[in-house]
Amino acid sequence: MNTTTTTTTTLDFGRTGYFSGRSVYDWLFALAVLAGGAWAFARYGGSMDMYEKPIFAATLPSLVALGWFWGRLRGLSLGVAAAVLAAIALYHQHLDGFGADLSKADSVFLLKYFLSSQSAILWMSVLTFMSTVFYWVGLLAPGEDNTALKLGSRFAWAAVAMALVGTFVRWFESHQIAPDVGHIPVSNLYEVFVLFCWLTTTFYLYYEQHYRTRALGAFVMLVISAATGFLLWYTVVREAHEIQPLVPALQSWWMKLHVPANFIGYGTFALSAMVAFAYLVKQSAEQSRWWQLAPLFLLGMVLCLEPVVFRKNPIEALSSYWAVYFGVAALVTGGILAARRRIAARLPALEVLDDVMYKAIAVGFAFFTIATILGAFWAAEAWGGYWSWDPKETWALIVWLNYAAWLHMRLMKGLRGPVAAWWALVGLAVTTFAFLGVNMFLSGLHSYGEL
């Protein structure tokens, strides 16, 4: 009996151990990440300050852990790394790490059309729109064939890959302009919109695999396509893709931590809102209460008009681009209202939608809390105080309190159903104002850009 017990314990230990259950591919991925990190440190370590080196060192095991946790990130990471290294090689970088010929972005074929930062981000935009279209085709198509949904998912993965390539190549390009210009590309509205797009898409793709349903992609990719449309407009009217030196307040290593954590919160809050939208569509269709969707139509129009309202001259802001943008939004929202029964039949069960909504908000709230704490430390360093009731800080607190109350009602009072969905959807309007409206419409220490 003792021998049997001992043997069983040993087998259980081996089966449940974190490292002992790893496959050959897991270890090859870990080796590739560590080897690539060692090479990058040897090549660029001299350009890192005392804070960036430990951050870089912590990034490597974190990337390995993420690849082990979610296998699809392994191929994504290796593919993005290969594309970024190819772009660097095409720029013909000097051995000292600086002085690459950035004009090659307009003359070398692969850089001009695929691998320069601006080209890659434009590809991200195109792939995002294509993904959205295929998700909706697959959701509305008759029959059980889900080929269009599969294509929508693959285009979403491709959009994430191109966004990451564009982000890392832009980081490299900024350092080639001058050592004091180089910075992580999360410093202005253009860069953080790219960050928002690929982060939100990646979180959705995880939930898509975890819950084994692609139907939600049609809803989630709508908000990402809206963000992409704003990004393209902002690029054209402001030439926002041009790399600029950091303003003094942003010349801090806190930015490297605060901004990504903040946008994990923004991205997952947006994801939860679109899942809430799907929940309300399904719930109203099942109960044959079409009038319940009328407020959804109005809320969608308000969200689409926000970029216009945020501008200081709304009449001038209502250009032909925004008129088309608003018209497309109205058609999409109206089409969802008209086809709600067919859409509802393809969506997951209400319990699944409710669970995705809850988990997205929980993840977003955790990272938004971390980002708020980091922002307080950054404010103390930049302005001499942890909290100054600046408009951005005030609205960040409003967002935090909104989702803290949502989670409290969920965990303590069992909040479920339409009330929770409406609350999550209205939260998107609050979050959007904190993200865009404060910087564009209110003055304060955080007003680094304008529309």
- 384-405 burial, b if ≥16 CB within 10 A, otherwise e? eeeeeebbbbebbeebbebbee
Q: What's the pLDDT score for residue 121? A: 97
Q: What's the pLDDT score for residue 358? A: 97
202 pLDDT band (50/70/90 cuts)? very high
Cα pseudo-dihedral 186, 188, 194, 199, rounded to 10: 50
pLDDT above 60 for 64: yes
Tell me the chain's radius of gyration from C-alpha atoms: 23
Q: What's the pLDDT score for residue 32? A: 95
Residues above pLDDT 90, as percent of the chain: 53
The more confident residue out of 177 and 348 is 348
**What is the rounded CA–CA span in Å between residue 249 and residue 431?**
23
pLDDT above 90 for 126: yes
300 pLDDT band (50/70/90 cuts)? low
Span of 4-13, 47-56, 392-401 with lowest mean pLDDT? 4-13
pLDDT above 90 for 75: yes
pLDDT above 50 for 89: yes
Span of 67-76, 104-113, 278-287 with lowest mean pLDDT? 278-287
Structure tokens at 150: 């599969």
Mean pLDDT, residues 32-61 taken together:
87
**What is the rounded CA–CA span in Å between residue 54 and residue 31?**
19
Handedness of CA 194, 200, 206, 208 (dihedral sign): negative
Structure tokens at 343: 């859409």
Structure tokens at 380: 């103390």
Q: Which of 376, 437, 446, 379 is nearest to 187 (CA)?
A: 446
Crossing angle of helices 294-310/417-432, nearest 10°?
10
For the chain, which residues make up each domain, given as ranges? 247-451
The more confident residue out of 440 and 313 is 440
**What is the rounded CA–CA span in Å between residue 76 and residue 315?**
44
How many CB atoms sit inside 10 A of residue 106's CB?
9
Structure tokens at 161: 């890959």
Q: What's the pLDDT score for residue 159? A: 98
The pLDDT mean for the chain works out to 85
Exposure on the CB side of residue 56, measured as CA atoms within 13 A? 19
pLDDT above 60 for 312: no
> Within the chain, how many helices (H) and strands (E) appear?
18, 0
192 pLDDT band (50/70/90 cuts)? very high
DSSP for 155-214 reads HHHHHHHHHHHHHHHHHHHHHHH-TTT---S-SSHHHHHHHHHHHHHHHHHHHHHHHT--
**What is the rounded CA–CA span in Å between residue 18 and residue 14?**
9
**What is the rounded CA–CA span in Å between residue 259 and residue 255?**
6
Residues above pLDDT 70, as percent of the chain: 83
Give per-residue pLDDT as tens, 204-243: 999 999 999 999 999 999 999 989 988 988 888 778 888 8
CA–CA distances in Å: residue 273 to residues 17, 87, 260: 37, 37, 20
The amino acid sitting at 336 is: I
The more confident residue out of 99 and 403 is 403
Mean pLDDT, residues 93-116 taken together:
80
Q: What's the pLDDT score for residue 47? A: 75
**What is the rounded CA–CA span in Å between residue 310 and residue 330?**
19
pLDDT above 60 for 310: no
Exposure on the CB side of residue 301, measured as CA atoms within 13 A? 11
pLDDT above 90 for 251: no
Q: Which of 375, 377, 380, 382 is nearest to 434 (CA)?
A: 375
The more confident residue out of 362 and 289 is 362
